[in-house]
Amino acid sequence: MTRMLIRGGRILDPSEDRDEAGDVLIEAGTISEIAAGLDVPGAEVLDAKGAWVAPGFVDLHCHLREPGQEYKEDIASGGRAAVAGGFTAVACMANTQPVNDDPAMTDFILDRALHDSPARVYPVAAATRGLEGQVMTEMVALVDAGAVAFSDDGRTIMDSGVMRRVLDYSRLVAAPVIVHCEDRTLVSDGVVNEGPVSTKLGLPGNPAVAEIVHIHRDLLLAEQVGAHLHVAHVSTAGGVEAIRRARERGVQVTAEVTPHHLTLTDEATLGYDTNTKVAPPLRGEADVRACRAGLVDGTLDAIATDHAPHALHEKELDFASAPHGLIGLETAAAVVLDLVRSGELTPLEWVRRLSTNPARILRKSGGSLAVGASADLVVIDPERRWTYDPVKGHSKSRNSPWAGQTLTGRVVATVVGGRLVYHVDRGILV
Amino acid sequence: MIGRDLLGIEDLDRSDIERILQTAEHMGEIGEREVKKVPTLRGRTLVNLFFEPSTRTQTSFEIAGKRLSADVVNFSPRSSSLTKAESILDTARTLDAMDPDAVVVRHAVAGVPKRIADVLEAPVINAGDGAHEHPTQALLDLFTVRREKGRIDGLTVTIVGDIVHSRVARSNIYGFLKMGAEVRLAAPPPMIPAAVETLGVKAFTSLREALDGADVVMALRIQNERFAGSYFPSVREYAATFGIDRATLRYAKDDAIVMHPGPVNRGVELSHDLADHRPSVILDQVRNGVSIRMAVLYLISGRLHRGGVA
Amino acid sequence: MSRLIGHGRPGILKGANAALLTPSRETDKGATLTQDEVQEKAPGEPRGARNGPRTILDETGIRRTLMRIAHEILERTEDPGLLYLVAIPNGGVPLAREIARNLRQIAGIDVAVGILDTTLYRDDLTTTAERPLLRLTEMPSAVDGRIVILVDDVVKTGRTIRAAMDALMDFGRPQVVQVVGLVDRGHRELPIKLDYVGKNVPTSPNENLRLRGDAGELRGRLELVLEPSDAADSDDSSRSARKGGGA
């Protein structure tokens, strides 16, 4: 059996609160030993000196575009981008073409992933048929087929009665309902955060209250029926506060925030670069600070990329017509390291939000380097500087606001199930 | 200024504006000659790239270009949903291959002239992008005010109407503030943009207060689509509360002038009487538009290459 | 005679005595140097090498020259009622007005004075770094059938006069176009001749020669000053950004 020794790194395992130097031995696809100064003849050695060794990152929220829009991404390319970014597992959203609202579609995605993706793929099924926000999907059958959660992400369930029933029914399967909170009637034709920036740009504004209203609504409904609500991509201070207070009351709510909502403000839109056009939009400074504080104090449990590839010809349209979204699998780790560099998060807490917590929310194994756990891990050099060129990246698309920027922190190697699937010097290895 | 884009008044400083106004002063004289043409831009190509149709502005640029002896090419891509999928940048790159000396762009969505300018070598003049800016309109408004009042410093300018959707309002706000005037806005609340006072203006929901002591009253066009969008209940109510007629004009200074970018919805923004008679200076605005556009074309046409001007 | 003009002795030239001048020498086409003029310079000093600005004509000298030119114009014009003085800004403006005043004084006729900016007709707009500022154009009279006399302070390459003629043609069809240059400094690049010259001044191409003083009217200190080329040249530089400047 192949044995791999990851030597000389700083081991960060939030599941055991471990933060210490040491070596990790992998055998038969699982973690077999963690100690300092291991010497295992015949084992493949991966030098982790100066780097951190952590459980592989788990992305709660990404868009792989397959089936239907393979021109901008597919499960293969998305999986490669994932492992290049240190993600050993990703949960992919249902807004494909056709929508993943049927067990056969979930099956298809899992099958594709098995053959083509170096990262594990957990399908999120639609909460309502066709994402139309009217009739709920067959949640039991979908979970049996392998779906891990339900979401109409890409759209919002505007009808509160339908939302309530969806949350209620979800208790049958004990899977989270992931909500994209935006009241469409308040968003109207808004494309940038409503505020001084939208006024300067002369573009219609998307007010923060559009998100806050729906977060409140969904929290109250989840509280009423006792379901597990997971709030996707929180971007507003009001939203963070609502979740904090609901959790204090005992509501079963989890929440995620994206790397861009933690580090970019709406001022990034001032040049009309459509690679800054995203839903929910980049917000003002106060909102960004509140999201950071929320991530630190645990109100926001996890970081999720909302990796949303779009083709060049789609993003080259005028700002109003261009689709929302930016890619983020390959840059997430470096971008969010900003909170470690600023001292807001310790490295261990940073890993917890990228790995342990997302795995827990999805009720999947992962996020742990405990002996016996599946060997899904990432080796990351937090000091390594590199220039991000999406053209050389693994995603089929290039819509990133960090294109051309020098980032600090780079994944050195990614291991899935004991197999080295990515190495920074050698690329994808499967 | 040669080869420099004119995307908005926000990017100009006071001395740039002065230069343009001074040049326009002299360009006006050419329109009074019998032979209304000078050879200055002979052999230069000016392209009008109007994604959003506009007879007034396009014609004004065309006349301006032709008076300077430029070759003017009008290019209006149809904005049907079919062609919407065409990349704006594809169109721009095709144009660039024709080596234009200046490209005038109008589009219904903000930011398009800037995206095009980033790709083209030729200077780009923004003829209106969404609700963002319409710099030549503001320049001709500044020019008109200066000709009427002899100065701009210290004047009070009140802009009335659908500010949130108005590029004319934004450009004029920047322009009049840079030239030393005080700027006030008057509109029903949903039509006042978020955080607009951060631009340096004062917003009023009372027309009377906004007009008190104003030297210049600028009325903006109300588009009927806005009522369908529920920014305001009806044309009738708008006219009654924010329409300008001789009676409401009395709140302003006795020698206040009335302006409008046109075309006027008679009986809505301005009364029939004011639309056609002094103290409104709408026709002067149109005439001055050609002078301003001639000045802008004169000052910036020409492609910048490394090591010199072409 | 040429010495008198350079030295500006008052009283020597009065209206009647202006006839004593021999026009042929002063209005010699082709800007020849007379021996007298060569000797006007400090002996041994090479042409073009100056320590600072050198006055070619002071106010008195200019006034005399313009009076003489007014006489010459009257001498050569059969029908002075058709005269139209068109000044090229900025330098030509005070000169044209003075000539008009002189004509009124000498012959009692009122000659129209127009101002014609040539900036938009320049042939070097493709090489300047910035588009030059425009100047006033004011043509109070019609040009058709008139004897138009273009008035400029310094004529060098002839390009400004060429541009002025193109501009003039856009206003109408003159019967005749003539040119007054207060100073001809040579270095023609186009076949332009001057019909009336104040003074021929030899210069090197990269020296600057300009009319200094109140641009609107001939009052106060008005001098034609020769400066080495590194001195700031506000009058000429806005006419041409090429080395040497000039008309």
Q: What are the CA-CA distances from residue A43 to residues A1, A21, A408, A418, B207 (Å)?
A: 10, 20, 31, 12, 82
The predicted-structure confidence for B253-293, as pLDDT tens digits, reads as follows 999 999 999 899 999 999 999 999 999 999 999 999 999 99
Residues in chain C with CB shorter than 8 Å from the CB of B39 are: 120-121, 166
pLDDT of residue B85: 52
Residues in chain B with CB shorter than 8 Å from the CB of A271 are: 114
Listed in sequence order, the residues at least 6 apart from C59 whose beta carbon sits closer than 8 Å to its beta carbon are C213, C218, C220, C221, C222, C223
B3 part of a folded domain: no
Interface of A with B (CB under 8 A): 194-196, 198-205, 207, 271-272, 313, 316-321
Average pLDDT over residues B156-183: 97
User: CB contact, 8 Å: B123 with chain A?
Assistant: no
B308 part of a folded domain: no
Query: Token pair of B119, please?
Result: 């790709």
| B192 and B99 within one domain | no
B162 part of a folded domain: yes
In angstroms and rounded to an integer, the radius of gyration of the C-alpha atoms of chain C is 17
Greater model confidence, A4 or B3: A4
Q: What are the CA-CA distances from residue A143 to residues A107, A176, A376, B220 (Å)?
A: 11, 11, 23, 57
Under the banding of pLDDT at 50, 70 and 90, the label for residue B223 is confident
| B170 and B88 within one domain | no
pLDDT of residue C126: 77
Q: Which residue in chain C is spatially nearest to B44 when comparing CA positions?
A: C126
* Pairwise CA distance, residues A365 & A377, whole Å: 12
Chain C nearest-CA distance from B111, in A, is 27
pLDDT of residue B286: 95
Mutate to test the interface with C, among B15, B30, B38, B69 (most CBs of C within 10 A): B38
Q: Kindly determine whether residue B195 and residue A199, on different chains, have CB atoms separated by under 8 Å.
A: yes
Question: Which chain B residues in 5-34 lie under 8 Å from chain A, judged by CB atoms?
Answer: 10
Residue whose entry in the numeric block shows the structure tokens 């056609």: B276
Q: What are the CA-CA distances from residue A8 to residues A24, A422, B94 (Å)?
A: 9, 19, 56
Please name each of the domains of chain C with its CATH number: 2-243 (3.40.50.2020)
Give the helix, strand, coil percentages of chain C, each rounded to 5.
30, 20, 50
* Pairwise CA distance, residues A334 & A336, whole Å: 6
* Pairwise CA distance, residues C18 & C20, whole Å: 5
Q: Kindly determine whether residue B111 and residue A199, on different chains, have CB atoms separated by under 8 Å.
A: no
Q: Kindly determine whether residue C131 and residue B35, on different chains, have CB atoms separated by under 8 Å.
A: no
pTM, two decimals, is: 0.86
Query: Token pair of A330, please?
Result: 């390959």
pLDDT of residue C218: 56
Chain B nearest-CA distance from A310, in A, is 14
Greater model confidence, C178 or A174: C178
- Which residue among C117, C125, C130 sits closest to B26, beta carbon to beta carbon? C117
A116 contacts A82 by C-beta, under 8 angstroms: no
Chain B nearest-CA distance from A315, in A, is 9
Residue whose entry in the numeric block shows the structure tokens 């007379």: C34
Chain C nearest-CA distance from B1, in A, is 6
Q: Kindly determine whether residue A198 and residue B193, on different chains, have CB atoms separated by under 8 Å.
A: yes
pLDDT of residue C40: 44
User: CB contact, 8 Å: B87 with chain A?
Assistant: yes
Residues in chain B with CB shorter than 8 Å from the CB of C166 are: 39
Full 3-state SS string of A110-158:
HHHHHHHCCCEEEEEECCEHHHCCCCECCHHHHHHHCCCEEECCCCCCC
pLDDT of residue C15: 39
Average pLDDT over residues B58-81: 86
Query: Token pair of A305, please?
Result: 């990329």
Residue A49: CB atoms within 10 A of its CB come to 10
Chain A nearest-CA distance from B166, in A, is 8
| B59 and B20 within one domain | yes
% chain B with pLDDT above 90: 78
Q: Kindly determine whether residue B87 and residue A317, on different chains, have CB atoms separated by under 8 Å.
A: yes
Chain A nearest-CA distance from B36, in A, is 37
User: CB contact, 8 Å: C135 with chain B?
Assistant: yes
User: CB contact, 8 Å: C17 with chain B?
Assistant: no
Q: Kindly determine whether residue C170 and residue B38, on different chains, have CB atoms separated by under 8 Å.
A: yes
Nearest to A259 by CA among A30, A6, A426, A59: A59
Chain A nearest-CA distance from B37, in A, is 37
Is residue B306 predicted with pLDDT exceeding 50? no
User: CB contact, 8 Å: B35 with chain C?
Assistant: yes
Residue A381: CB atoms within 10 A of its CB come to 20
Element holding A11 (H helix, E strand): strand A3-13
Nearest to A203 by CA among C150, C167, B112, B26: B112
How many separate helices (H) and strands (E) can be counted in chain A? 15, 19
* Pairwise CA distance, residues A52 & A379, whole Å: 6
* Pairwise CA distance, residues B204 & B211, whole Å: 10
The predicted-structure confidence for C23-74, as pLDDT tens digits, reads as follows 333 333 333 333 334 334 444 444 544 556 777 888 888 999 999 999 999 9
| B154 and B108 within one domain | no
B2 part of a folded domain: no
**For residue B263, cis peptide bond before it (omega within 30 degrees of 0):** yes
* Pairwise CA distance, residues A284 & A286, whole Å: 6
Mutate to test the interface with C, among B2, B4, B41 (most CBs of C within 10 A): B2
| B83 and B146 within one domain | no
User: For chain A, how far is it from start to end, CA to CA, in angstroms?
Assistant: 18
Task: Specify the CATH number for the domain of residue B149.
Answer: 3.40.50.1370
Query: Token pair of C154, please?
Result: 């310094």
B221 contacts B263 by C-beta, under 8 angstroms: yes
- Which residue among A199, A201, A207 sits closest to B111, beta carbon to beta carbon? A201
Q: Kindly determine whether residue C134 and residue B299, on different chains, have CB atoms separated by under 8 Å.
A: no
B310 part of a folded domain: no
Contacts of A among chains (3+ CB pairs under 8 A): B
Nearest to B162 by CA among B192, B201, B204: B192
Is C touching B (3+ C-beta pairs, cut-off 8 A)? yes
B48 part of a folded domain: yes
* Pairwise CA distance, residues A232 & A211, whole Å: 11
The predicted-structure confidence for C180-198, as pLDDT tens digits, reads as follows 999 999 899 999 999 999 9
Under the banding of pLDDT at 50, 70 and 90, the label for residue C214 is low
User: CB contact, 8 Å: B134 with chain A?
Assistant: no
| B60 and B90 within one domain | yes
pLDDT of residue A394: 97
Q: Output the DSSP codes for C86-119.
A: EEPTTTHHHHHHHHHHHHHHHH----EEEE---G
Average pLDDT over residues B206-228: 89
Question: How do beta strands B45-50 and A52-55 pair?
Answer: unpaired
Q: Kindly determine whether residue A196 and residue B198, on different chains, have CB atoms separated by under 8 Å.
A: yes
Q: Kindly determine whether residue C121 and residue B302, on different chains, have CB atoms separated by under 8 Å.
A: no
* Pairwise CA distance, residues C233 & C230, whole Å: 8
Range of the domain at B42: 9-133+287-303
pLDDT of residue B233: 86
- Which residue among B85, B110, B198 sits closest to A202, beta carbon to beta carbon? B110
Under the banding of pLDDT at 50, 70 and 90, the label for residue C209 is confident
pLDDT of residue C34: 33
From the first residue on, what is the mean pLDDT of each consecutive set of 10 residues in chain A (430 residues)?
91 97 96 93 94 98 98 98 98 98 97 98 98 97 97 96 97 96 96 97 97 98 97 98 98 98 97 96 98 98 98 92 97 98 98 98 96 97 98 97 98 97 94
Chain C nearest-CA distance from B107, in A, is 29
Under the banding of pLDDT at 50, 70 and 90, the label for residue B80 is very low
pLDDT of residue B270: 96
| B199 and B255 within one domain | yes
Is residue B40 predicted with pLDDT exceeding 60? yes
B47 contacts B105 by C-beta, under 8 angstroms: no
Q: Kindly determine whether residue B109 and residue A319, on different chains, have CB atoms separated by under 8 Å.
A: yes
Is residue C239 predicted with pLDDT exceeding 70? no
B37 part of a folded domain: yes
Q: Kindly determine whether residue B39 and residue C166, on different chains, have CB atoms separated by under 8 Å.
A: yes
A278 contacts A322 by C-beta, under 8 angstroms: no
Residues in chain C with CB shorter than 8 Å from the CB of B123 are: none
Element holding A412 (H helix, E strand): strand A406-416
* Pairwise CA distance, residues A73 & A62, whole Å: 11
User: CB contact, 8 Å: B277 with chain C?
Assistant: no
B174 part of a folded domain: yes
| B98 and B182 within one domain | no
Q: Give the range among A171-175, A277-281, B184-188, C15-19 with minimum mean pLDDT.
A: C15-19
In the predicted model, what is the mean pLDDT of chain B?
91
Q: Kindly determine whether residue B90 and residue A272, on different chains, have CB atoms separated by under 8 Å.
A: no
Q: Kindly determine whether residue B302 and residue C117, on different chains, have CB atoms separated by under 8 Å.
A: no
pLDDT of residue A111: 98
User: CB contact, 8 Å: B250 with chain C?
Assistant: no
- Which residue among B89, B110, B195 sits closest to A203, beta carbon to beta carbon? B110
| B239 and B150 within one domain | yes
Residue whose entry in the numeric block shows the structure tokens 């009074």: B32
* Pairwise CA distance, residues A176 & C193, whole Å: 94
At A282 the three-state DSSP class reads coil
As for how many domains chain B has, the answer is 2
Residues in chain B with CB shorter than 8 Å from the CB of C172 are: 34
| B202 and B67 within one domain | no
pLDDT of residue B115: 92
Q: Kindly determine whether residue B84 and residue A319, on different chains, have CB atoms separated by under 8 Å.
A: no
pLDDT of residue B235: 87
pLDDT of residue C215: 53
User: CB contact, 8 Å: C167 with chain B?
Assistant: yes
Please name each of the domains of chain A with its CATH number: 4-53+373-428 (2.30.40.10), 55-362 (3.20.20.140)
| B265 and B215 within one domain | yes
B95 contacts B38 by C-beta, under 8 angstroms: no
Q: Give the range among A226-230, C197-201, C217-221 with minimum mean pLDDT.
A: C217-221
User: For chain B, how far is it from start to end, CA to CA, in angstroms?
Assistant: 13
**For residue A280, cis peptide bond before it (omega within 30 degrees of 0):** yes
Question: Catalytic residue positions of A?
Answer: 306
Q: Kindly determine whether residue C121 and residue B40, on different chains, have CB atoms separated by under 8 Å.
A: yes
User: CB contact, 8 Å: B38 with chain C?
Assistant: yes
| B256 and B149 within one domain | yes
